[in-house]
C-alpha cells in the first residue's frame, strides 16, 4: 500500500487506492455483507411474522421499513471495525503525503460501494416479503446511490469524530441516525409520490441537500484534522 500511495500522481489516485484497500479488507473480514446484511434481512422478516398475512398492511409499510433497516444497519456497515485506522497506519499515510481529506474521501467511497451493495442485497428480500407497489421503481437507480452516499459520508464523518474512543460504534450511531433521518423521509416520500403519480423532485432534492451538507461537514472535519496533526 505504501508503494502504491507514494507513486500516486495525485489525490484522486490516492483516494482510489485507499478505497480499494478498504474494500480488500472488508472482502477478507466479511463484516459488512456476510454479517450485517443477513441481520438486516432478518429484521425485515420480523414484521411479517408479527402482523401475519395482512397483505395490504405489508404493502403499505414495506417501503418505509426497507429504508429504516437500510439506515439502522447501514450505520453498522459504515462504522465497521475493519474501517478503523490504527496510529501506525495513520503515521504511514502522513509520511506518504496523504491529506486527511483524501483519506476520508477514500473511506467514504468504499463505504458508498458497500452500502450500495447492502441496499441491493436487501431489496429483493423486501419485495418477496412485502410485495410492495413497484410503480416507483424507475426512481430507484437515482435514489439508491443518493442514500448510499449520504449514509457513507455520515458514517465516515462520525467515525472520524469518534476515532480512538472506546464506544466508537455506539457513539457513531448516535451521531449518524438523527442526521440521517431526512434521508429516510426523502427516500420513502419519493416512492410514495411516484406511486400516486406525483413528481418526487422535492424529496430527491431533500436527499441531495443532506448529501451536500454532510460532504461539506466532512471537508471541515478533514481541515480540522490537518490543523491538529
Output the pTM of the full model: 0.87
The cell numbers describing 100, all together, are 486527511
Question: Could you read off the pLDDT tens digit of each residue along the chain, which spans 229 residues?
Answer: 444 444 445 889 999 999 999 999 888 888 888 888 899 999 999 888 887 777 788 888 888 999 999 998 888 888 876 566 777 787 888 888 888 899 999 999 999 999 999 999 999 999 998 888 878 788 999 999 999 999 999 989 988 887 766 666 677 788 888 889 999 999 999 988 888 888 899 999 999 999 999 999 999 988 887 767 6
Give, in order, the Cα–Cα distances in Å from 118 to each of 12, 27, 71, 106. 25, 14, 11, 18
pLDDT of residue 2: 47
> Taking Cα atoms as reference points, which of 59, 71, 33 lies closest to residue 155?
71
pLDDT of residue 206: 95
The cell numbers describing 4, all together, are 502504491
Q: For the chain, how many helices (H) and strands (E)? A: 9, 0
Please tell me the distance from the alpha carbon of residue 154 to that of residue 207, in angstroms, as a whole number: 13
The 8 Å CB, 24+ separation contacts for 64-69 are 64/184, 64/188, 65/126, 65/130, 66/122, 66/123, 66/126, 66/130, 67/147, 67/183, 67/184, 67/187, 67/188, 68/184, 69/40, 69/43, 69/44, 69/122
Specify the 3-state DSSP secondary structure of 132.
Answer: coil
Distance of CA 177 to the CA centre of its chain: 11
Please tell me the distance from the alpha carbon of residue 176 to that of residue 153, in angstroms, as a whole number: 10
pLDDT of residue 229: 60
pLDDT of residue 196: 84
pLDDT of residue 83: 62
Specify the 3-state DSSP secondary structure of 108.
Answer: helix
DSSP 33: I
pLDDT of residue 168: 67
Domain residue spans of the chain: 9-228
Amino acid at each position: 500500500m505504501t508503494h502504491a500511495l507514494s507513486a500516486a500522481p495525485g489525490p484522486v489516485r490516492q483516494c482510489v487506492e485507499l478505497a480499494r484497500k478498504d474494500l480488500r479488507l472488508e472482502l477478507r473480514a466479511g463484516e459488512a455483507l456476510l454479517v450485517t446484511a443477513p441481520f438486516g434481512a432478518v429484521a425485515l422478516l420480523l414484521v411479517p411474522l408479527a402482523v401475519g398475512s395482512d397483505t395490504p398492511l405489508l404493502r403499505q409499510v414495506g417501503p418505509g421499513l426497507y429504508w429504516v433497516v437500510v439506515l439502522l444497519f447501514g450505520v453498522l456497515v459504515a462504522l465497521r471495525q475493519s474501517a478503523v485506522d490504527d496510529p501506525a497506519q495513520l503515521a504511514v499515510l502522513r509520511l506518504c503525503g496523504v491529506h486527511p481529506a483524501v483519506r476520508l474521501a477514500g473511506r467514504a467511497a468504499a463505504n458508498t460501494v458497500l452500502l450500495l451493495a447492502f441496499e441491493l442485497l436487501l431489496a429483493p428480500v423486501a419485495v418477496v416479503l412485502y410485495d410492495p407497489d413497484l410503480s416507483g421503481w424507475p426512481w430507484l437507480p437515482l435514489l439508491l446511490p443518493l442514500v448510499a452516499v449520504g449514509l457513507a459520508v455520515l458514517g465516515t464523518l462520525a467515525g472520524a469524530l469518534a476515532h480512538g474512543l472506546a464506544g466508537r460504534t455506539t457513539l457513531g450511531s448516535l451521531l449518524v441516525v438523527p442526521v440521517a433521518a431526512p434521508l429516510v423521509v426523502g427516500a420513502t416520500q419519493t416512492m410514495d409520490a411516484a406511486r400516486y403519480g406525483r413528481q418526487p423532485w422535492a424529496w430527491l432534492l431533500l436527499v441531495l441537500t443532506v448529501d451536500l451538507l454532510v460532504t461539506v461537514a466532512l471537508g471541515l472535519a478533514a481541515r480540522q484534522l490537518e490543523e491538529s496533526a
